[in-house]
Amino acid sequence: MAFLKPKWYNFISRKAELTMRKILILLLAGIIFSTSGCYSLRKKFIRKKKYQKEEPVYINFKNYPEKPSRDAYIDYFIFVKGWIDDLTESLRIERLNTGYNSKREKRAINGAVMNLEQIISFFNQDGKEKIYPLYVDLVKVRDAMEKDPNMSPARRSLMLQRIEHFRRAFEAEFKYSEAQKWMD
């Protein structure tokens, strides 16, 4: 086998030969990876999307009475009164006090409007026409409060008067005994 070795081979030391073999192996590995790519290696380190399994929705159908119940109307009536009372209490607090909170006022006015809308759904057309002006006043108050949450004391006083007027009219005209004639 000595005749297959080139002439310059005798001049290379054993250490240099091992170094050249390592370089050759690394060069071949580099060529193989560069031509085939590192897709499988990259795939191993990339996060996979977590798919959420959609839970099936079960609907329990009930037969609801066509006429809304007295208890449901009274509950919504009390909710509106409660939110309005909370709002008036919040508006009475001076701004410099520690108890002032515009988020509390927003939550109270939105709760009152939402529960008043539920009450409106109980009424027939005559009742809706009767309560609609109060609803519009309450929505105007809500819009004014959302537009300017940091009101001056004079503007807060005006809002307080409008809300108290709403509360008196609402309690006088829309108690269950009065509102029963407008229910379907």
Q: What is the pLDDT of residues 73-92, one digit of tens each?
A: 899 999 999 999 998 988 88
Tell whether pTM > 0.75.
no
Residue type, position 181, single letter:
K
**Residue 183 φ/ψ, nearest 5 degrees:** -85, 150
**CATH number for the domain whose boundaries are 70-182:** 1.20.120
DSSP string computed for 15-82 = HHHHHHHHHHHHHHHHHHHHHH-SHHHHHHHSPPPPPPPPPPP--------SSPPHHHHHHHHHHHHH
Query: What tens digit of pLDDT does each residue of 21-45 get?
Result: 889 888 888 777 666 666 666 676 7
pLDDT, tens only, 105-144:
899 999 999 999 998 888 888 888 998 999 999 999 999 9
Least confident among 66-70, 87-91, 94-98, 136-140: 94-98
Hey, where are the domains in the chain? 7-43, 70-182
CA 141 to chain centre: 24
Rounded mean pLDDT of 6-25?
A: 72
How far apart CA 115 and CA 128 sit, in angstroms, is: 14
